[in-house]
Structure 1
Amino acid sequence: MLEYVDEFLLIALAHFFAVASPGPDFAIVLKQSIQRGRANALWTSAGVALGILVHVTYCLLGVAIVLSQSPAMFNVLKYVAGAYLAYMGIQALRAKPAGDTQSVKGVEHQTSERAIQALRRGFLVNALNPKATLFFLSLFTLVISPTTPTMVQAFYGLYMALATWVWFSFLAIVLSRTQVRSFFQKAGHWFDRGIGVILIALAVRVVL
């Protein structure tokens, strides 16, 4: 296992910069943290981590090679991802002003949703993200040696999923603090609309 330490450190470093860069995953965790609270955001973060396992699985199965050789299939993925991000963006743009006396807990109660819905939301955002597809395609074809055993590659994938979950859970805890949420929710509908613009811009970027 020691012979793969250098490869693992390179992968861990590349993954850190990828997961820390602003993108659809960050936008959705930010939105859920402010709008729906800590528990919801943590479930959303878990969904994002599960999405990572989808990318790892198809890379291990060799589907990543098929995607790289099939522009049509990759374009379908791009359009589906773009449509989903645009849908969420439009929903956010339709946010209406809350009453002046509405508290953070009141907003959370009105916008509550089941854990499975939050988990699914995070999962779909990551699993359908072509940026993530390109990242894992590059990682498994250019960085990871073809001679690296499948079990070691699977360990890399599991590490990246866990690291993603820890990172976004940390963000969810910080962003869902009462003081932070209160600050954003003083003009909550404008915040939602701002996130909507960002999600639509990300949708356009994904497609183009």
Structure 2
Amino acid sequence: MPSVSVELVAVATITLLAVMSPGPDFAFVVRQCLMRGPRAGYLGAVGIGLGIAVHVSYTLLGFGLLMAQHAWLIEVIRYLGAAYLIWLGLGAFLPSRGQGDPVETVEDSQRRSGDAWLLWQGVLCNALNPKAMLFIVALFSQVVSSSTALSVQVGYGLFIALAHVAWFALLTRLVATRGMQRRLQSFGRVLDKVVGACLVGLGIRMATSG
């Protein structure tokens, strides 16, 4: 049986490698920052952390393995997640109320989007990602020993969630720097469409992958 310290190192290493891998969450946070400013990016980061907490919660309650063993349930989550990513991505190609680049319309965009909705977008982006679900289930079933105290497992889950929040908050901070904002003023709209296309592509890939 591995010691808690060995488990912690393993959980921390795997988590950091996973959270830094580009994926739907990464593209989602970047687009939030482009269209609605850093506040939306930070709220999205917290939402992603809450999405991870959802996966951790049902895994610790014993439902994670049960869900993973039912292929139809994974398929439902996969198609819902794919549809959500495609919907998010298509937003980059729909006509907006204002003109100009995304940076110039941040205040108007924030007025049209409440904090609660911005937060829930992050939750849905992660909670509807079957890869995030399988990652958490695999981590707690293959890396964390079943004999590890529940309080320690909860601590692992809290660390994983906070690691996601910290990473995507850092990403938001980098996108929101003054130098980056100056660059966005020249090609922000094009970049938004590129990120939107990436979200659509990720959604299609999620829908077509087994």
Instruction: Normalising by structure 2, report the TM-score.
Output: 0.91
CA RMSD of aligned residues (A): 1.9
**Which consecutive segments of 4 or more residues in structure 1 shift more than 6 A?**
none
Corresponding position of 2:4: 4
Superposition deviation, residue 90 in structure 1? 1.1
Residues 72-106 of structure 1: CA deviation (Å, up to 9, x unaligned): 01100100000100111111122569646x793x3
Matches within 5 A, 1:1-208: 3-95=3-95, 99=99, 104=103, 106-112=104-110, 113-207=113-207, 208=209
Q: How far apart are the structure 2 equivalents of 1:188 and 1:128?
A: 28
Instruction: Normalising by structure 1, report the TM-score.
Output: 0.92
Q: How far apart are the structure 2 equivalents of 1:103 and 1:144?
A: 44
Residues 46-72 of structure 1: CA deviation (Å, up to 9, x unaligned): 111111100100110111111221000
CA 1:86–1:103 in 2, change beyond 3 Å: closer, same or farther?
closer
Superposition deviation, residue 187 in structure 1? 2.7
Superposition deviation, residue 185 in structure 1? 3.5
Q: How far apart are the structure 2 equivalents of 1:99 and 1:7?
A: 52
User: Bigger shift: 68-77 or 34-43?
Assistant: 34-43
Superposition deviation, residue 133 in structure 1? 0.8
Q: How far apart are the structure 1 equivalents of 2:54 and 2:184?
A: 33
Question: How many positions carry a matched residue from both structures?
Answer: 205
Partners of 2:31 and 2:196 within 8 A in 1: no
Q: Which runs of 5+ in 1 are unaligned?
A: none
- Aligned-pair identity in percent equals 34
CA 1:95–1:176 in 2, change beyond 3 Å: closer, same or farther?
farther
Superposition deviation, residue 11 in structure 1? 0.5
